[in-house]
Amino acid sequence: NLQSTTTLHNGIEMPWFGLGVFKVKDGSEVINSVKAAIEAGYKSIDTAAIYGNEEGVGKAIAESNVPREELFITTKVWNSEQGYDSTLAAFDESMKKLGLEYLDLYLIHWPVPEQNKYKETWKALETLYKDGRVRAIGVSNFKEHHLKDLLEDCEVVPMVNQVEYHPRLTQTSLHEFCKQNRIQLEAWSPLMQGGLFEEPTLQEIARKYGKSTAQVILRWDLQNEVVTIPKSVKPHRIQENANIFDFELSSEDMEKINSLNQDQRVGSDPDVMN
């Protein structure tokens, strides 16, 4: 169900399913979507400093009647703030905006190899983790070679890697590498930002189960053991997206969806993003 969690390698429980708020405007838009999600039973919210809506996310949390401890809040340090001291300052800034005493998951948003600062940035995340200000730390958009490089020097192995992941980009070797290192994979743009709804194979599978194409894709994430955080600002879609715990895709249908992979990104390539 919606409360089901994956146990991260440090023992922290992270919901398999949550709400993403990329491109959702601060103020009433984000407040209303986070509230609609919490009312629909969502426990996990994914934001980032760069989304500019941490204040609204914080307001929605404060105004909801779900206890803080039941929620799982993620935010991310933006590229321009990478480095040890600047990351500690960015964290304080995010926490002030969110109005939280502690965070559940803090991520390095992109590796930005050009800056070559992600190891220093990681040290700041390790400090925040050891100080108990965040329950889990991780990375985002790290390819296998970025992870290998980080693993050579880190004290704490990242608990999560949040990457672009959908039926057109299944990231099989990265996923395998993450499993071997007990790093939980998390999907961003799981619905390929809306680009998959006309795909005939997905439509056919959706008809077969009496589900929407979005629900089939999100169910496929769960069965592949990938945390998923679809975005919507529409309450009926927020509810629809969460309604994926009452059916199971057959292994044949899972394979059919896996084989839609074309290594196709809608977002930036992490090696060139700066």
Interacting residue ranges for ligand NAD, rule: CB under 6 A:
20-22, 46, 109, 140-141, 162, 188-194, 212, 214, 229-232, 237, 240-241, 267
3-class DSSP state of 177: helix
Shortest spacing between CB 103 and ligand NAD, in angstroms: 15
3-class DSSP state of 225: coil
∠102-20-247 over CA atoms, to 5°?
Answer: 110
- Contact call for residues 77 and 111 (beta carbons, < 8 A): no
Q: Is 73 exposed, middle or buried (0-12, 13-18, 19+ CB in 10 A)?
A: buried
By beta-carbon proximity to ligand NAD, the closer residue of 95 and 227 is: 227
3-class DSSP state of 28: helix
By beta-carbon proximity to ligand NAD, the closer residue of 128 and 163 is: 163
Displacement of CA 168 from its chain's centroid (Å):
18
By beta-carbon proximity to ligand NAD, the closer residue of 125 and 214 is: 214
Q: Which residues are catalytic?
A: 51
List 116's β-bridge partners, or say none.
none
Q: Is 217 exposed, middle or buried (0-12, 13-18, 19+ CB in 10 A)?
A: buried
For helices 84-98 and 54-63, the axis angle rounded to 10 degrees is 40
Alpha helices in 64-164 (DSSP H): 84-98, 118-130, 144-153
Shortest spacing between CB 222 and ligand NAD, in angstroms: 15
Shortest spacing between CB 218 and ligand NAD, in angstroms: 9
End-to-end CA distance of the chain: 38
By beta-carbon proximity to ligand NAD, the closer residue of 18 and 83 is: 18
Shortest spacing between CB 274 and ligand NAD, in angstroms: 13
Residue with the CB atom nearest ligand NAD in the bound state: 20
b or e along 185-195 (b: 16 or more beta carbons within 10 Å of the residue's beta carbon)? bbbbbbbbeee
By beta-carbon proximity to ligand NAD, the closer residue of 131 and 168 is: 168
- Contact call for residues 2 and 242 (beta carbons, < 8 A): yes
Other Cβ atoms within 10 Å of 93 Cβ, number:
14
By beta-carbon proximity to ligand NAD, the closer residue of 49 and 95 is: 49
Shortest spacing between CB 74 and ligand NAD, in angstroms: 8
List 74's β-bridge partners, or say none.
46, 105
